[in-house]
Structure 1
Amino acid sequence: MTNKTILQLEDGALFLLALTLYIKLGFPILYFFLFLLLPDITILGYRHDPIIGAKLYNLGHTLVLPVALTFISLFTSTSFLLAVSLIWAAHIFMDRAMGYGLKYSDAFKHTHIQNL
């Protein structure tokens, strides 16, 4: 098994974990599926140019922001932010499980997962 396959399996498992936590915490499952693809709005940066597109896309597809939202939700007892962070993280895990990854500015289809 290659490193790429191992990482994709891990991300698939993390997607299932995020979905399970979302359901277990009692958040509406309809919202999960309605907003699951919302982070892909960052692809609109590519309408301007590939460099801005890659930076905006990567900002929306890194786990730093969902993790920060999780911490904020825990310290402020704001369940809405926790729901958002779980959906956002699930999206990232789903993308990476399917082989999509952080973008390089030379081409939209050139991702960090391809280099594994």
Structure 2
Amino acid sequence: MNSTAEIGYAECGYAAGKIRQVLRGEALAILAASTTLFFLFGGDLWMFAVLFFAPDISIAGYAAGPKAGAAIYNAVHSYALHAVLAVAGVLTGSELLWQISLIFIAHAAFDRSLGYGLKYAAGFRHTHLGPIGKPTPRGD
């Protein structure tokens, strides 16, 4: 049963309670699966280590404002985009493409398993998994 607090979060567009735990658990499973596939099919540790945090460069998109920043961040942290690119890499024989895609999927899953979800245009700290960080004096 949802508590009043969970219902309040749901009305704001945030996952809460057990649903949030399930989403974070799923992300952990995706992290494990994508990392396992990367190494099982011959991915190099150095490449994984160098590129794992590369998607966080997308935070620079916030220099163009919160709406553009959220759109850029979400595109780079999307499972769907990178899953399609991974399949395209396999079908075209592009080892580099599917390897980078699996690393980016692992990164997105890592972020979500820690509670850093996809961003709303309201600002960086507003995510589908709930607010992150400390509230600002304005209440953002």
How far residue 64 of structure 1 moved from its aligned partner, in angstroms, is 2.2
Aligned to 2:119: 103
Q: Which amino acid aligns with 2:72?
A: L
5+ residue gaps, structure 2, are 1-16, 132-140
Report % sequence identity. 35
TM-score by length of 2: 0.77
- Residue 90 of structure 2 corresponds to residue 74 of structure 1: yes
Aligned to 2:11: none
Aligned to 1:26, which of 28, 42, 53?
42
| Structure 1 outlier segments of 4+, above 3 Å | none
- Residue 130 of structure 2 corresponds to residue 114 of structure 1: yes
| Bigger radius of gyration among the two | 2
RMSD across aligned positions (CA): 1.4
CA distance, structure 1, for counterparts of residue 107 and residue 72 of structure 2: 16
The number of residue pairs the alignment matches comes to 115
CA distance, structure 2, for counterparts of residue 45 and residue 60 of structure 1: 11
**What is the SS of the residue equivalent to 1:114?**
coil
Q: Which amino acid aligns with 1:49?
A: G
Q: Which amino acid aligns with 2:30?
A: L
Aligned to 2:6: none
Aligned to 2:110, which of 77, 89, 94?
94
CA distance, structure 2, for counterparts of residue 19 and residue 72 of structure 1: 18
Aligned to 1:14: 30
5+ residue gaps, structure 1, are none
